[in-house]
């Protein structure tokens, strides 16, 4: 957990005790808005003391834009498997990540929530070294991903299971070959064993009868589920699901959530799920990070976030049209 | 005015990029790391054999027919119809077969690679490969290059045969001013084994360039399906230019100083 004592937002925690690292340096004052007042009033001294501030927003200029970003990270008591430290990423002039500080705790199912187009998928690509940050660092189990050599990177990726937003099945292979691919590449299992595992995985996601179909013969939801099976086939330690539940009917979504929980109980590890579905979040999330405009608005254990006082978090987690988030 | 200069600049910079990327692929094949995916290499060999052999042979056969007819009438006009075999020996082996091969490789194999890799790129399949801990350049590009090297020399030599056969048909069977024996006398007099080797080298350099250019444009495609289309078109332009450059350089180097022709002592 990285503390950033130069946080200009530290004055939000006026009632924190001296010497907790939050007020040790002079800070720039932030124009108080009505919500600031409310936030401050609502923050009990206890929770404020426990909070670790990760955000280091730039002074003044876009204070307004980031008025909801308390960057509050309520502690979970476990170490982080993946950490983003002040990550900046831009595509041309389009700044996507703007000083992202985020941790995903080991051994828990974390969810990254946020409006469409804020860079959740971009985040995932940073974790596996498909994209490199312009500034800042991404740590996986304490190792810096951007500084890895190619061989280290390939080794690290074997610990990962990733479901891409569109499934990313190999168009030239049928479902069985798709799911068997990682097994064939990275294990010495016999063909029989491999087919056995693959059939079981496909049955789990309800594709037992479609196993010899090509990806282009499947519906979007079926492709998602096949991608899901493929991501998990090596029992990876860190699992990243990019919207596993989009494009699925409500019942399948519920079943998939249960499946995620079951598999997580079996294997453990750091599971990260990106979703827009609040029901799914309520069902499976143990830890939630809310991402907006390239930074964390708030993160922490799920039940605490669902009771958060932050207006943006509240609006987003209840899906109301009134609040800080508009269509813009 | 600036617009006129932008295009060549873009060409030069992309040429540098292609060279760098190609160096990586060549290194992977040369260091035999590609053998890690020998199964995939064999699959690509199969794709080449099943998908491209007939169409390349067919094209070369047709231009071989043309070459034979032109040759037969031209030598007759010079009053030396017996020498029609020269055209088969030279025109086929040294120019027509390499170009026909190069064109069809660009059109069929080159664009095929761009389309395939490009669609894999935009549907995140290449990312998925990488994330599974697989070197995607090795798996997708180096295997294709090795497959080309394994299959194409044989396919090329057979194509040379198809071209010769077509010329023979046109000269001896169709126009019929030369006997079969007279044709082969001249035909064999005007070529020797190194010529075949040079021709194969010409063809293989073209094939290598085409596969590498295809891999580059496909692997780096972006901007959705439209982007894949644009990349395919660009690769085709680049490949046609390269085919001609290689054809010209090959002729200069191999036959420019010494035509290896038994004329005038
Ligand atoms: N390769 C890229 N090149 C240029 N811009 C990109 C690229 N990848 C993503 N972006 C931009 O980054 C922004 C965030 O994209 P991202 O896919 O991460 O959104 P997201 O949070 O996953 O949204 P959604 O919930 O809709 O999937 C988008 O505005 C997109 O235009
Ligand atoms: Mg996304």
Instruction: Give the tens place of pLDDT for each residue, A256-313.
Output: 899 899 999 988 889 999 988 888 888 899 999 988 888 888 888 988 888 888 888 8
Q: Give residue limits of the domains in chain B.
A: 29-254
Give the span between the Cα atoms of A7 and A5, in whole angstroms. Answer: 5
Q: Is the confidence at residue A103, as pLDDT, over 70?
A: yes
Q: Is the confidence at residue B184, as pLDDT, over 50?
A: yes
- Please give the pLDDT value at position B218: 95
- Per this entry, what is the length of chain A? 328
Q: Is the confidence at residue B114, as pLDDT, over 90?
A: yes
List, for residues A208-257, the tens digit of each pLDDT value.
888 889 999 988 888 888 998 999 999 899 999 998 888 788 888 888 89
Q: Give residue limits of the domains in chain A.
A: 10-159+236-318
Residue B236: band (very low, low, confident or very high) from pLDDT cuts 50, 70, 90: very high
Contacts of A158 (CB under 8 A, 6+ apart): A186, A234, A236, B132, B133
Give the span between the Cα atoms of B225 and B229, in whole angstroms. Answer: 6
Q: Which residues of B touch A125 (CB under 8 A)?
A: 127
Beta strands in chain A (DSSP E): 52-53, 72-73, 80-91, 94-105, 109-113, 135-140, 143-144, 160-163, 238-242, 270-274, 287-292, 295-301
Does residue B79 belong to the interface with chain A, where contact is any CB pair within 8 Å? no
Which of A95-99, A269-273, A321-325, B212-216 has the least mean pLDDT? Answer: A321-325
Q: Which residues of B touch A130 (CB under 8 A)?
A: 127, 130-131
Mean per-residue pLDDT over chain B, rounded:
90
Closest CA to A184 of A175, A174, A173, A195: A195
A326 torsion bin: left (phi>0), alpha (psi -120 to 50), beta (else): beta
- Please give the pLDDT value at position A8: 42
Give the span between the Cα atoms of B106 and A281, in whole angstroms. Answer: 51
DSSP state string for A201-258? HHHHTT-GGGTT--GGGS-HHHHHHHHHHHHHTT--SEEEEESTTTTS-HHHHHHHHH
CA-closest residue to ligand 1 atom 16: A119
> ipTM score here?
0.80
Of B123, B130, B133, the CB nearest to A130: B130
Of B119, B127, B135, the CB nearest to A130: B127
- Please give the pLDDT value at position A63: 56
Superfamily for the A10-159+236-318 domain: P-loop containing nucleotide triphosphate hydrolases (3.40.50.300)
Q: Is the confidence at residue A36, as pLDDT, over 70?
A: no
- Find out whether the beta carbon of A119 lies less than 6 Å from any atom of ligand 1: yes
Q: Is the confidence at residue A169, as pLDDT, over 70?
A: yes
Closest CA to B128 of A26, A11, A233, A189: A233
A167 torsion bin: left (phi>0), alpha (psi -120 to 50), beta (else): left
Mean pLDDT of the region B196-220: 95
- Please give the pLDDT value at position A139: 92
Q: Which residues of B touch A154 (CB under 8 A)?
A: 133-135
**Residue of A95, A111, A114, A118 to mutate, ligand 1, most atoms within 8 A of C-beta:** A118
Distance of CA A285 to the CA centre of its chain: 11
Does residue B17 belong to the interface with chain A, where contact is any CB pair within 8 Å? no
Q: Is the confidence at residue B200, as pLDDT, over 80?
A: yes
């Amino acid at each position: 957990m990285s503390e950033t004592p130069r946080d200009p937002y530290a004055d939000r925690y006026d009632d924190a005790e001296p010497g907790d690292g939050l007020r040790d340096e002079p800070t720039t004052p932030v124009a108080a808005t009505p919500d600031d007042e409310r936030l401050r009033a609502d923050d009990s001294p206890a929770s404020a003391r426990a909070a670790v501030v990760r955000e280091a927003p730039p002074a003044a200029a876009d204070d307004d834009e980031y008025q909801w970003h308390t960057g509050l990270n309520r502690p979970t008591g476990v170490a982080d498997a993946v950490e983003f430290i002040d990550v900046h990423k831009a595509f041309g002039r389009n700044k996507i990540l703007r000083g992202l500080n985020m941790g995903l705790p080991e051994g828990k199912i974390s969810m990254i929530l946020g409006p469409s187009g804020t860079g959740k998928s971009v985040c995932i690509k940073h974790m596996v070294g498909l994209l490199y940050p312009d500034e800042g660092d991404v740590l996986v189990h304490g190792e810096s991903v951007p500084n890895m050599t190619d061989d280290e990177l390939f080794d690290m990726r074997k610990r990962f299971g990733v479901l891409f937003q569109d499934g990313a099945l190999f168009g030239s292979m049928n479902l069985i070959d798709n799911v068997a691919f990682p097994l064939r590449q990275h294990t010495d299992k016999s063909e029989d064993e491999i087919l056995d595992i693959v059939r079981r995985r496909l049955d789990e996601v309800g594709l037992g009868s479609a196993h010899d179909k090509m990806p282009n013969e499947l519906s979007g939801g079926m492709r998602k589920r096949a991608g899901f099976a493929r991501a998990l086939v090596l029992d990876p330690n860190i699992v990243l699901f990019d919207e596993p539940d989009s494009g699925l009917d409500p019942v399948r979504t519920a079943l998939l959530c249960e499946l995620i929980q079951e598999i997580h109980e079996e294997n453990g590890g750091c599971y990260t799920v990106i979703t827009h579905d609040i029901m799914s979040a309520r069902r499976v999330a143990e830890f939630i990070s809310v991402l907006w405009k390239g930074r964390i608005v708030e993160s922490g254990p799920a039940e605490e976030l669902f009771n958060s006082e932050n207006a943006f978090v509240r609006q987003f987690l209840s899906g109301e049209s009134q609040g800080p988030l508009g269509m813009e | 005015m600036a617009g006129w200069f932008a295009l060549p600049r873009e060409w030069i910079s992309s040429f540098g990029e292609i060279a760098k990327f190609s160096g990586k692929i060549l290194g992977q094949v040369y260091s035999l790391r590609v053998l890690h995916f020998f199964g995939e290499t064999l699959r690509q060999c199969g794709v080449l054999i099943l998908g491209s052999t007939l169409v390349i042979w067919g094209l070369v056969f047709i231009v071989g027919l043309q070459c034979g007819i032109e040759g037969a009438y031209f030598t007759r006009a010079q009053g030396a119809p017996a020498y029609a075999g020269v055209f088969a020996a030279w025109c086929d082996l040294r120019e027509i077969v390499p170009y026909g091969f190069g064109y069809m490789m660009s059109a069929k194999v080159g664009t095929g690679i761009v389309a395939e890799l490009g669609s894999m790129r935009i549907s995140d399949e290449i990312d998925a490969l990488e994330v599974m801990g697989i070197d995607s350049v090795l798996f997708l590009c180096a295997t294709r290059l090795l497959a080309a090297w394994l299959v194409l020399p044989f396919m090329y030599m057979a194509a040379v045969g198809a071209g010769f056969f077509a010329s023979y048909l046109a000269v001896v069977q169709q126009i019929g001013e030369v006997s079969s024996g007279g044709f082969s006398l001249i035909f064999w007099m005007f070529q020797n084994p190194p010529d075949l080797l040079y021709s194969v080298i010409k063809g293989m350099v073209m094939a290598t360039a085409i596969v590498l250019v295809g891999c580059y444009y496909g692997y780096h495609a972006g901007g959705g399906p439209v982007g894949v289309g644009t990349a395919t078109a660009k690769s085709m332009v680049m490949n046609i230019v390269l085919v001609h450059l290689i054809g010209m350089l090959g002729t200069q180097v191999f036959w420019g100083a010494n035509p290896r022709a038994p004329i005038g002592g």
